[in-house]
Structure 1
């Protein structure tokens, strides 16, 4: 026990004294917490600029244009006489969509005929396309329903029936766990878990590959392989308790991300995740044995980890064999489980599959770290 505590003190001291490790485990964690969420602070796109071509120029067409402009999602930034002029502005990336109101728009409506409007939206940026198409469709349907209702009332149909006829099955959408329907609420909880994994992997790799004279001075009788691995894990766990609490509990409240889970449940779920990542970092460092190689590898696999986690790219579109590979990464199970516990308010029992997977990974990687430590020259 004294050997374990000695290793713990040495490793904890090194975290703050070894500049590369301190920069990753402490400074980088703070920098990421400030800068990474900034692009997502607005949650959802608003006032996407589009163009309008009004070929009819009647009261009805102007009313449709007014309603489009009143939408919070889009704004009519320019009006053009024809589509060719509008296309130039769209190709220059000054505008992202075009609504064309056809000639005889009002006349067709008054005669009870369909008068379709045309919408062209930039689909190269899906969030922009979604906002434009959603706003234009909602405005067109609302105005169409009002016109149909007025026509039925004029034909002496009961007003109650006339109001229900254009939309006999009204839909009431309730956004659960993400009231604003924002991108930040969706992406940040998962991204924060991935950042914790990457910073911890790099930090542990740097600590393990840099010389440690104080630890090397301890004899096998003072600190054996088990004392060395468990003491280091305890040191990494100590520093990550603060980082994980800051990322998984404080930051969501600071940035207004909905949270239904209790801090206790979050801490319980984070425990095997931290152990699994720490022991994996030790295994990678033992295999590579070079600080630069550790940094290059862990940095290079960051983007693949992002996609394999199944939140940036839909999990349903990932091949099954890649999903199986992704399970060996702590972040894969941690992201789904942590989002369930912290954001959706799930209990540990309800995310037991991910929780158990993390514990299995923690045990497997810790055993591998023991094995590699026992075979290292310093342990001989």
Structure 2
């Protein structure tokens, strides 16, 4: 126990004494917490500029244009005479969509005939395209239903039946866990987990390759700590530091940026323990394999983006090849993102994330065991050298 505490104190001291590690783990965490969420603060796109090409010029076409402009998603910034003029504005990036209303639009509607409108939206930006297409479709459907209802009432249909005829199966969509339908509520909780994962992984990798990583290299007369005490002591030091950083990301930042959070604090903190320990074990393995601070930084920086896609929130898990998905479970962030999201955002109890919880504990044992084996193998040459030195000393004394 004394050796374990010695390793713990030494590693905790090194986190704040080594400038590269302090910059990554402490300064980097603060930097990402402040600046990463800034582009997402508006939650959802609003007032995407489009142009109207009104080929009808009637009260119905003007009403359609007015309602489209009144939506929160779209802003009609131009009314142009033809498609060619509107295309020039799209190419100039002044607008991101064109709504073309055909000639005889009102007449066809009043006669009960279909009068399709044409929407040309910029699909190079998926979110812009989604907002424009969704906003125009909702307005067109509502206006069409009103006109059809008025036409049916005009020919003597009962008003109640006429109101139900255009839309017999009304749908009311209520987003339970993302009330604003915003991108920030969707992406930030998972991104915070991945940021914590990568920062801690790089910091542990650097600690294992910078001077002082071997606690047996001490100048005291005490026996050096064993491999198990070395691994456990280091992992506990990382856990103590993350006990401060992780609640800031998972509890304070969601409140600060207005992200929905239905889960309790205790389940989140309990789930965080194997998450931090599994990353610590993986970082110790990375440090033992690459043995150079530069190699650690280059390798972990290169695999950061694949980790993002393998996590399953940027690219749906259902369309990831099964073999690739199974391999991704070896990365702690894959199970952690799903578990933390269900605990914090959806309000699930800890029992509902039992699979992810056990997976993280399994990764802790797996990577911790590999780190222990590598530590034992690293010390074996030292023991052989020590035995050889002892034999030489005995031989020398015998000669004397």
TM-score normalized with structure 1 length? 0.98
Aligned to 2:364: 362
Which of these two proteins has the greater Rg computed from alpha carbons? 2
Closer/same/farther in 2, CA of residues 83 and 31 from structure 1, 3 Å limit: same
CA distance in 2, matches of 1:135, 1:214: 61
SS in 1 for 2:199: helix
Aligned to 2:37: 37
Q: 8 Å contact 2:152–2:162 — kept in the other structure?
A: yes
Aligned to 2:170: 170
Q: Structure 2 unaligned segments of length 5 or more: list them.
A: 384-400
CA distance in 1, matches of 2:56, 2:213: 83
SS in 2 for 1:120: strand
Q: Structure 1 unaligned segments of length 5 or more: list them.
A: none
Aligned to 2:347: 345
Give CA-to-partner distance per residue, 1:58-96, whole Å, 9 cap, x none: 111111110011010001111111001111111222211
CA distance in 1, matches of 2:21, 2:124: 40
Aligned to 1:255: 257
CA distance in 1, matches of 2:246, 2:121: 41
Give CA-to-partner distance per residue, 1:147-170, whole Å, 9 cap, x none: 011111111211111111111000
Alignment of 1:71-150 (within 5 A): 71-150=71-150
Could you tell me how far 1:213 is from its partner in structure 2?
Answer: 7.4
CA distance in 1, matches of 2:304, 2:162: 57
Q: 8 Å contact 1:10–1:214 — kept in the other structure?
A: no
Aligned CA RMSD, in angstroms, stands at 1.3
SS in 2 for 1:98: strand
Could you tell me how far 1:33 is from its partner in structure 2?
Answer: 0.5
Counterpart selection for 1:227 from 217, 226, 229: 229
CA distance in 1, matches of 2:127, 2:291: 44
Aligned to 1:182: 182
Given the alignment of the two structures, is residue 199 of structure 1 paired with residue 199 of structure 2, yes or no? yes
Give CA-to-partner distance per residue, 1:260-300, whole Å, 9 cap, x none: 11110000111101000011000000000000000001111
Closer/same/farther in 2, CA of residues 213 and 315 from structure 1, 3 Å limit: closer
TM-score normalized with structure 2 length? 0.93
CA distance in 2, matches of 1:85, 1:213: 67
Closer/same/farther in 2, CA of residues 213 and 58 from structure 1, 3 Å limit: closer
Alignment of 1:307-322 (within 5 A): 307-322=309-324
Aligned to 1:290: 292
Could you tell me how far 1:320 is from its partner in structure 2?
Answer: 1.1
Could you tell me how far 1:222 is from its partner in structure 2?
Answer: 4.0
Counterpart selection for 2:325 from 311, 323, 326: 323
